[in-house]
Homo-oligomer: A and B are copies of this chain.
């Protein structure tokens, strides 16, 4: 909260309507809110360097890049800024990754106005906001261990196979290349999917992209 006793927000989203819509909700919640808006990463960084922000509402789907490590960059500039991810992606898999990477809240664009307000309030008071859904997931996987890069959980062989899948090879090609049986390939595929908590190739590819593995 700044000197004039009102919260400062930064809405970073590439769509005007979204910036407007979120801005409106913010104004409804806090009459005196100071609301900054950014349409690109560059703008986002620029503003973060200039003014102290209490809450950054961030859509990670920018045209000028969107890998997960920008969260670290943001924190490097303003370590205390609270980040609420506001994404059009289904929370399930992605939320955890963003939370691990430095965000302290995750909200989907499908959320109702009430939930959005709840989330914003919660971020300001307790510094975080997580849906029950995600809390459950956290219990599941946080309790054990949390590798920074999810791909680390794969064994060497699994990684080998995963790369081939991401490159577009089918089971038959992989079986051929590695000289193993088709059921073995399927077994790996299964373990890979389980470990990374995905259930289809498209999601696997996204993870590889997110964690910028050259092979993608």
Which residues of chain A have a CB within 8 Å of any CB of chain B?
A: 14-22, 24-25, 61, 63, 88-89, 109-113, 116, 165-170, 199-203, 205, 213, 215-216
Contacts and interface: CB of A to CB of B under 8 A. Distances in A.
Contacts of A168: 199-203
Contacts of A167: 202
Copies in the complex: 2
B16 A116 contact: yes
10 contacts: A15-B21, A15-B109, A17-B22, A17-B116, A21-B21, A21-B24, A166-B202, A169-B200, A170-B200, A205-B205
Given A15-B18, A20-B20, 6 more contacts: A15-B109, A16-B21, A18-B21, A18-B109, A61-B215, A201-B202
Nearest to A90: B216
Q: Which of A20, A22, A24, A167 has the most CB of B within 10 A?
A: A20
B110 A14 contact: yes
Nearest to A167: B202
Given A24-B24, A202-B201, A216-B88, A109 B17 contact: yes
